[in-house]
Amino acid sequence: MSLFHNVEFSFIDSDVLGMWVGDSLINMANLLFYVLLLVGALLFLANGFKNARIVGFCFAIILISHALSLAYSIYIFSTKFSEIAKSDQPYWVIIFFITNMLWSWFSYYVLRTIYQHRKLAVDEFEEDGVKRAAFNIAGKGKRIVHLIVDRLMIILIGFNWVLYFRETIEDIEDSMGTRLTIILLMALGELMYFCFFEGIFAATPAKYLTATRVGDEYGNKPRFGIIVKRSLSRLIPFDALSFLFSNGWHDSISDTYVLNDKIVEDESVFSFEEKMQ
């Protein structure tokens, strides 16, 4: 059965998450998001520009949303330029492109600024004349939040890509079959998601929300090649639940850690100086 069996684009015009208020139809998902962004901004101002968890989470969503729209607009420009040029209002397409480009840049700037000003929780001490430091490793509770939020984001992103590139995916489905196409799309979506966010910011939207980041044994952001290795390791069956019993297979294979940005009541720490010996 096709991925698009009984799926019509007309449903995009009907807001399944909508609620009528008077004569207006309000998208409840968008409303919830903007309320969350407003609350995050107010909390950020109230605590003296220190806690940017919700702000970072919201701008991570803004970035991926507009980056996808930007990629789609480039695709439309390159494949249907002649049709756009002959349309009555081609400038709307240009405005759409410029708007997405500006939002992508601005959200990237915000996330980079948050990342640069976040500090790892480090306890420095001296032992046998050697300076050491210990980092707080994120507990299982935060890892569960990462699992739920990041997987939800991947599903939403993947759904948008399916709608954007419906014709291309249908061609792949005809040659590979539905089941294999679904597996391929899920794997590619997961790889792109984690390589993008952890490769650039060392943190996914869920990690911005929990004030955590990916780090190597010295607390630095891992090289992009390590992030790719870490992301590929996630494709191992049941890897997503492996952190419940150990540090997580994708952590162990890539020798990376999920570290807290502030002191927490968690005795799970390691000393990066000990790994140098």
Same domain, yes or no, for 83 and 168? no
Secondary-structure percent of the chain, ordered helix, strand, coil, rounded to 5: 60, 10, 25
Considering the domain architecture, whether residues 89 and 124 belong to the same structural domain is answered as no
Do 125 and 111 belong to one domain?
no
Is 266's pLDDT higher than 50?
A: no
Provide the domain limits for residue 68. 1-117
> CA-to-CA distance for 174 and 180, rounded, in angstroms?
11
pLDDT at 234 over 80: yes
pLDDT in tens, 32-54: 788 888 888 898 888 777 788 89
Whole-prediction pTM value?
0.78
The three-state secondary structure class of 104 is helix
Q: How confident is the model at residue 66 (pLDDT cuts 50, 70, 90)?
A: confident
Which pLDDT score is estimated for 231?
A: 93
* Residue 9 and residue 113 share a domain: yes
What is the C-alpha separation between 100 and 68, in angstroms, rounded? 9
Question: pLDDT > 70: what percent of the chain?
Answer: 71
Question: Both 138 and 192 in a single domain?
Answer: yes
Residue where one domain finishes, among candidates 117, 145, 160 = 117
Average pLDDT of span 9-34:
52
pLDDT on residue 247: 79
> Could you tell me if 146 and 204 are in contact, meaning their C-beta atoms sit under 8 angstroms apart?
yes
Do 112 and 211 fall within a single domain? no
Q: How far apart are CA 209 and CA 112, in angstroms?
A: 15
For residue 159, what pLDDT is reported?
72
269 and 172 fall within a common domain: yes
Is residue 277 scored above 70 in pLDDT? no
Out of 117, 143, 174, a domain closes at 117
The answer on 165 and 131 residing in a single domain is yes
Q: Report pLDDT for 194.
A: 95
pLDDT at 85: 67
Q: Which residue has the higher pLDDT, 186 or 172?
A: 186
CB 201 within 8 A of CB 67: no
pLDDT digits (tens, 9 = 90+) for 94-104: 788 888 899 99
Please give the residue that has the higher pLDDT: either 10 or 31: 31
Do both 103 and 157 map to the same domain?
no
103 and 145 in a common domain: no
Considering only 1-5, 52-56, 117-121, 245-249, which range has the smallest mean pLDDT? 1-5
| 86 and 18 housed in the same domain | yes
Summarize the confidence of residues 234-238 as an average pLDDT: 89
Q: Domains in the chain: how many in total?
A: 2
Comparing 83-97, 193-207, 234-248, the range with the smallest average pLDDT is 83-97
Same domain, 163 and 184: yes
Residue where a domain stops, chosen among 70, 92, 117 = 117
20-24, 106-110, 191-195: which has the minimum mean pLDDT? 20-24
User: Average pLDDT, stretch 235-245?
Assistant: 85
